[in-house]
Structure 1
Amino acid sequence: MLVKVLPYLNNRYFLTGLGFLIWISFFDRNDFITTWTYSKKLKTVQKEKLHYEEGIKLHKAQLQDLHSSKENLEKYAREQYNLKKENEDVFLIVEK
């Protein structure tokens, strides 16, 4: 096995290429580990972006619904902020 590899180790082009590949793979600023880490971060950020875009769509739809009619606005205010009219009692039932 060593006899087959020995001629390649004497070839300066092979050694230069091997050194270049090792340098690019491990010691360069854009080595494999850094590239892999950036790829993982990119996937995570893209998932977060998708999550926030879905939330924006939902909130835009809710906002449009609130602007469409006064009844929807009143319903939202009563449900979310526990608002009430004058001379009206509101009983909140809290489930445990």
Structure 2
Amino acid sequence: MLNRLLRFVRNFYVATGLGLLVWMTFFDANDLPTQIRNWWQLRKLDGDAAYYQEKIKAVQTERREVLGNDRLREKFAREKYLMKKPGEDVFVIVDEQNEQLEK
């Protein structure tokens, strides 16, 4: 009789553990597919963050160069923003898709 009771208790704990594992894996709010999806999204966002950090460094370097010199500031404004002096004409050469050839 005691042997049957121990077997029942052991089987009950095994069944409960398996049920809990299935519940946590597939039906819980933090189930396995959601965790995998979140992990991939985190990896993608980390890559994006690294890309933008590089861009920020490049812009800061360019800013330091441009703000330190009046000739470079004028050159930067002319090239990037197509600014011109009064009485001056600016010609922009474009390709078939109407995009600038020089950027």
Where is the helix percentage greater, Structure 1 or Structure 2?
Answer: 1
Q: Which residue of 1 aligns with 2:71?
A: 71
- Written as runs of structure 1 = structure 2, the 5 A alignment for 1:4-83 is 11-83=11-83
Q: What is the CA distance between 1:25 and its match in structure 2?
A: 0.8
CA offsets, 1:56-77, max 9 Å, x none?
A: 1111111111111111101111
Describe the shift of the 1:11–1:61 C-alpha distance in structure 2 as closer, same or farther (beyond 3 A): same
Aligned residues: 87
Structure ranking higher on relative contact order (CA contacts 8 Å, 6+ apart): 2
Aligned sequence identity (%): 34
SS at match of 1:30: coil
TM-score normalised by structure 2 residue count? 0.71
Return structure 1 stretches of 4+ with deviation > 6 angstroms: none
Q: Which runs of 5+ in 2 are unaligned?
A: 1-6, 96-103
Residue identity in the other structure for 1:26: F
